[in-house]
Amino acid sequence: MSRPTPVDEDRPTRLVVLAGPTAVGKGTLSAYVRDHFPDVWLSVSATTRSPRPGETEGVHYHFVDEDEFARMERDGELIESAVVHGRNHYGTPRGPVEQALRDQRMALLEIDLQGARQVRASMPEALFVFLAPPSWDELVRRLVGRGTEDEEERTRRLETAKVELAAEDEFDVTIVNDDVRRAAEELVSLMRPQRRMPPNQQQE
Ligand code: 5GP
């Protein structure tokens, strides 16, 4: 379900930026990639939000306080940063991404739309992938079903999601998250261009 992309077939796409509406399953998809595709390097974001049960410092996020986040921004340590859902700060540490690219690794950034726009401005050679829900109703079901946010937070996130869905056209490729394994395989295949079919044989 991906559209043809403007990627140069001879040059592997090393850096992929994955964004999409809240609750579409970006976190689940990147966790699946982390567990099943060890050759893909995942960026670990810094955030000022508190860890959820089961989240580990340095694996899911670097959990920092407001002062430390502000220092990282001030010192140019973040490629991009954003306040997500009007609440917490999130940002992508610069050094590890640059190191992964120097090591010729396939690198994946799972970030929000504002962050993706900032990366596009500074690293236009990256491939921008939009993760879409099978439908709006399914997105609402996933958001409510997750049960980790209160009513006010859910409403806030749905409002954000509507705006984010409208941004799909800004991206190079759309992947529909109908099945996590299929979506992960499609995502990783984009990082390995030599394994893709020529554009005229791609299926819509
Ligand atoms: P959560 O708090 O549910 O883990 O993530 C909330 C949102 O923050 C998700 O949409 C996620 O993609 C986004 N996010 C995670 N890390 C980053 C980051 O480093 N930068 C930006 N801009 N957004 C991020």
Q: Binding site: residue ranges?
A: 20-27
The verdict on residue 204 lying in a domain is no
Would the CA dihedral through 20, 26, 30, 32 be positive or negative?
Answer: negative
Burial bucket for residue 67 (CB in 10 Å: 0-12, 13-18, 19+) = exposed
Residue 146 belongs to a domain with what CATH number?
3.40.50.300
Which residue, 43, 27, 20, 5, is CA-closest to 191?
5
Q: Classify 175 as helix, strand or coil.
A: strand
The verdict on residue 202 lying in a domain is no
Per-residue model confidence as pLDDT tens digits over 132-164: 999 999 988 887 776 677 888 888 878 888 888
Query: Residue 81: which domain range?
Result: 2-196
Q: Which parts of the chain fold into alpha helices (H)?
A: 26-36, 66-74, 94-102, 113-122, 136-146, 151-165, 180-191
pTM of the full structure: 0.85
For residue 193, the CA-to-ligand 1 centroid distance in Å is 27
For residue 16, the CA-to-ligand 1 centroid distance in Å is 15
The verdict on residue 201 lying in a domain is no
133 C-beta closer than 6 A to ligand 1? no
Backbone region of residue 80 per phi and psi (left: phi > 0; alpha: psi in -120 to 50; beta: other values): beta
Q: Is the pLDDT of residue 85 over 60?
A: yes
Six token digits for residue 100: 């992964």
pLDDT of residue 10: 47
The closest-lying atom of ligand 1 relative to the alpha carbon of residue 110 is 12
- Specify the range with the lowest mean pLDDT, choosing from 7-11, 102-106, 197-201: 7-11
For residue 62, the CA-to-ligand 1 centroid distance in Å is 12
Per-residue model confidence as pLDDT tens digits over 87-114: 899 999 999 999 999 998 999 999 999 9
Per the structure, the count of domains in the chain is 1
